Amino acid sequence: MTITLALDAMGGDEAPTMVIAGADLALKCCSDQLHFRIFGRSEVISGVLASFPKLERCSEIIHTDEVITNHIKPSLALRNGRTSSMGQAVNDVALGKSHAVISAGNTGAYMALSKILLKTFDQIDRPAIPAFIPTLKGKTLVLDLGANIECSPENLVQFAVMGSSYVKQLIHISNPSIGLLNVGSEELKGNAVVQEASRVLKDLKDLNFYGFVEGDHITKGVTDVVVTDGFTGNITLKAIEGTAKLFGQFLKDGINSSWKGKLGYLLAKPVFDNLKHRCDPRLYNGAMFLGLRQIAIKSHGGTDAIGFANAISVAIQLVQQNILQDMENSLAGVT
Amino acid sequence: MTITLALDAMGGDEAPTMVIAGADLALKCCSDQLHFRIFGRSEVISGVLASFPKLERCSEIIHTDEVITNHIKPSLALRNGRTSSMGQAVNDVALGKSHAVISAGNTGAYMALSKILLKTFDQIDRPAIPAFIPTLKGKTLVLDLGANIECSPENLVQFAVMGSSYVKQLIHISNPSIGLLNVGSEELKGNAVVQEASRVLKDLKDLNFYGFVEGDHITKGVTDVVVTDGFTGNITLKAIEGTAKLFGQFLKDGINSSWKGKLGYLLAKPVFDNLKHRCDPRLYNGAMFLGLRQIAIKSHGGTDAIGFANAISVAIQLVQQNILQDMENSLAGVT
């Protein structure tokens, strides 16, 4: 099977270079036939593409004049952004010309365009954004990361079902355990929304619901999926990122503070490299907007070619696994 | 001035040894005259106290038969717990015999007993629990950490005012900056509660309100105080703790995985020691229940003598600073 992917070449801090270099990396690692439809300013794209002859042979450039910047509001993107590289790339999936779209551009604009052009499943108001977090046991999927600031119990149940399907398809865990984020593990803890969501989740036969999990259970890897509203999820994910950065800075300060520190660092470099590798955000890059009827993958804007290649690999795996059918079936089972 | 402190000798995993050893450490470090009133089983306490002759001379033991365990619910603690070591220690402050009480016991029971016996300020329904978090710039106070699961805008405003007063008195920052935790820094972000709280906070003349802060701004040290509801605060704090533990474990794994790692660790030990020291939870131990008319300090249950001594030092500083008057005045200014 040839997998056709629509790339927004103009989104992301280092675009279009990292997009194209990322596609080249993905091409090298993928055993499937790949075809790229690359959207953006053709003169810029073709210049970069010339350095990657193998990629050039399986790519076509679709020229667009317009680019969605990081500061455009979603509403404006909806009005004026459909002819942009991002809008055209998303629409390519709607038209059935590509199997999936990947963009590292403006998240709000991308979400709005994807929602309108690719449509959501009947039950879903607004797609959720998931992210994998490194844990003591491997990695855990956390959602929602900010798309849905206020959530009903029904929203949380939908997140649980979609998260389960996503993890099943993407990292091949056959019956992923689902935790609901709360202030304590005991049954009576929390607010009315998590209480009601927990009650419903317990009754879903096809779902491996673990129960409530606490903030530190995420990085402990207590469950494969952690479900929460977009307010708490966004703040928690950023707090985790911030703590990782704090630790990194404290280590750097210590290393640079003395000759002994620097020498020890050189000797123990594999230790630090291993730490860096296990927490490398590029290896966790690429998240599907969960709840859409087609596959749209969001890459971090600040990533490089390795990170973008990872986002492409997420798209490829999801296309191969036929995740949309599984997710639609699972959602149908809860309503 | 002699400062008299009521200690619940029976609360905490390593009680009463760590309580008494902690008091001895505090005594060695404090320039003020200290007097300890130690509540709990006298035969156990006197046995431990015998090893600390200097402490013994400025302590008295008040025998209680009962002890509040970790599994007792707050409601039961209220009904039956007043004669326990914790209940008696709290009541000692209510009776004016001690300036402050410190316990490492059951948080829910301690909060309930303190609320009933020491009373809250008129505006406060339920005291908030703050905690200091290490940051790139020093430390930041985060509250509430779980006492108030559902918060109104008024609650958040009260937390801001009390947090400001607490930081001012405890770590001598003259005009602490206050951030309101949200999913983005832009004015229009977030839910109705943080929007309304932000509107009120902007108008408070005596408060240095910075605006919204995001999850990663906590460890960056963007503001001196970060205000949030108890649901988000509890999860965020535990997520930060969990991430620190993950990092520590990844480092340990790396060090133990090879001879080179182990040798590098030995050489760079000061680096790791420095990291450990900067994140040492014992140095952040001891939090006042904010909103009470008297001083009750909660110590972590799992801490040791150093951590308990730190909690005692928090009590001493707050007694010296006359924090209660400052807090009452500040709260009066917002209602």
Residues B252-296: tens digit of each pLDDT: 888 888 888 888 888 888 888 888 888 888 999 999 999 999 999
> CB atoms < 10 A from the CB of A66, how many?
17
Contact B268 A269 (CB under 8 A): no
- In the predicted model, is pLDDT for residue A28 greater than 70? yes
B37, B66, B75, B80, B291 from B87: Cα distances, Å? 13, 9, 13, 9, 19
Which contiguous run of DSSP H or E holds residue B297?
A: strand B295-298
- In this prediction, residue A187 carries a pLDDT of 78
The Cα–Cα gap between B99 and A234 comes to 41
Q: What is the dihedral of CA A61, A63, A66, A69, to 10 degrees?
A: 10
The reply to whether A230 touches chain B by the CB within 8 Å rule is yes
> CB atoms < 10 A from the CB of B66, how many?
17
Contact A268 B270 (CB under 8 A): no
3-state secondary structure of B215: coil
CA-wise closest residue to A305 among A55, A42, A43, A100: A55
- Torsion sign over Cα A192, A198, A199, A200: positive
The reply to whether A263 touches chain B by the CB within 8 Å rule is yes
Contact A183 B235 (CB under 8 A): yes
d(CA A162, nearest CA chain B) in Å:
22
The Cα–Cα gap between A282 and B14 comes to 43
CB-based contacts of A330: which residues, under 8 Å, 6+ apart? A161, A162, A164, A165, A206
- In this prediction, residue B271 carries a pLDDT of 82
Per the CB < 8 A criterion, the answer to whether B5 and B312 are in contact is: yes
Per the CB < 8 A criterion, the answer to whether B287 and B297 are in contact is: yes
Which token pair is B319?
Answer: 């007694």
Contact list, B238 vs chain A (CB under 8 Å): 214-217
Q: Which residue has the higher pLDDT, A270 or B199?
A: B199
Q: What percent of chain B has pLDDT over 90?
A: 79
The reply to whether A52 touches chain B by the CB within 8 Å rule is no
Contact list, B279 vs chain A (CB under 8 Å): 247, 250
Instruction: Tell me the residue type at A69.
Output: T
Residues B94-108: tens digit of each pLDDT: 999 999 999 999 999
Q: How far is CA B102 from the centre of its chain?
A: 10
Contact list, B243 vs chain A (CB under 8 Å): 219, 239-240, 243-244, 247
- What does the DSSP assignment read for B93-151? HHTTS-SEEEE-S-HHHHHHHHHHHH-B-TT-SS-B-EEEEE-SSSEEEEE-SSS-SS-
A6, A41, A68, A150 from A59: Cα distances, Å? 10, 14, 22, 41
- In this prediction, residue A335 carries a pLDDT of 66
CB-based contacts of A76: which residues, under 8 Å, 6+ apart? none
Per the CB < 8 A criterion, the answer to whether B190 and B228 are in contact is: no
The Cα–Cα gap between A131 and A258 comes to 38
Q: Kindly report the pTM of this predicted structure.
A: 0.92
CA-wise closest residue to A104 among A15, A230, A5: A15
Winning range, highest mean pLDDT, from A186-190, A331-335, B246-250: B246-250
SS3 track for chain A: CEEEEEEECCCCCCCCHHHHHHHHHHHHHCCCEEEEEEEECHHHHHHHHCCCHHHHHCEEEEECCCCCCCCCCHHHHHHHHHHCHHHHHHHHHHCCCCCEEEECCCHHHHHHHHHHHHCECCCCCCCECEEEEECCCCEEEEECCCCCCCCCHHHHHHHHHHHHHHHHHHHCCCCCEEEEECCCCCCCCCCHHHHHHHHHHHHCCCCEEEEEECCCHHHHCCCCEEECCHHHHHHHHHHHHHHHHHHHHHHHHHHHCCHHHHHHHHHCHHHHHHHHHHCCHHHHCCEECECECCEEEECCCCCCHHHHHHHHHHHHHHHHHCHHHHHHHHHHCCC
Q: Which residue has the higher pLDDT, A309 or B268?
A: A309
Task: Compute the radius of gyration of chain A from its Cα atoms.
Answer: 21
d(CA A189, nearest CA chain B) in Å:
9
CA-wise closest residue to B230 among A290, A97, A134, A232: A232
- In the predicted model, is pLDDT for residue B335 greater than 70? no
The reply to whether A258 touches chain B by the CB within 8 Å rule is yes
Residues A122-134: tens digit of each pLDDT: 989 889 999 999 9
Per the CB < 8 A criterion, the answer to whether B12 and B299 are in contact is: yes
- In the predicted model, is pLDDT for residue B52 greater than 90? yes
Contact A268 B268 (CB under 8 A): yes
Per the CB < 8 A criterion, the answer to whether A152 and A193 are in contact is: yes
Task: Report how many Cβ contacts below 8 Å link chain A to chain B.
Answer: 201
The reply to whether A70 touches chain B by the CB within 8 Å rule is no
Which token pair is B231?
Answer: 């649901």
3-state secondary structure of B217: helix
The Cα–Cα gap between A268 and B208 comes to 45
Residues B213-244: tens digit of each pLDDT: 999 999 999 999 999 999 999 999 999 999 99
- In this prediction, residue A285 carries a pLDDT of 94
- Picking from A109-118, B93-102, B229-238, B326-335, which range would have the lowest pLDDT averaged per residue? B326-335
- In this prediction, residue B31 carries a pLDDT of 81
Which contiguous run of DSSP H or E holds residue B323?
A: helix B323-332
- In this prediction, residue A95 carries a pLDDT of 98
The Cα–Cα gap between B295 and B302 comes to 21
The Cα–Cα gap between A89 and A102 comes to 8
Among A232, A249, A252, the residue to mutate for chain B (most B Cβ within 10 A): A232
Contact list, B216 vs chain A (CB under 8 Å): 238-239, 241-242, 245
Per the CB < 8 A criterion, the answer to whether A183 and B230 are in contact is: yes
The Cα–Cα gap between B309 and A59 comes to 67
The Cα–Cα gap between A278 and B104 comes to 36
Question: What residues does B3 pair with on adjacent strands?
Answer: B34
- In this prediction, residue B255 carries a pLDDT of 87
Position of tokens 């779902």? A207
Helix axes B323-332, B153-171, angle to 10 degrees: 150
Contact list, B218 vs chain A (CB under 8 Å): 239, 242
Task: Compute the radius of gyration of chain B from its Cα atoms.
Answer: 21
Question: What residues does A288 pair with on adjacent strands?
Answer: A297
Instruction: Tell me the residue type at B311.
Output: A
B125 dihedral zone (left: phi>0; alpha: psi -120 to 50; beta)? alpha
Contact A232 B237 (CB under 8 A): no
Q: What percent of chain B has pLDDT over 70?
A: 100
- In the predicted model, is pLDDT for residue A1 greater than 90? no
> CB atoms < 10 A from the CB of A132, how many?
21
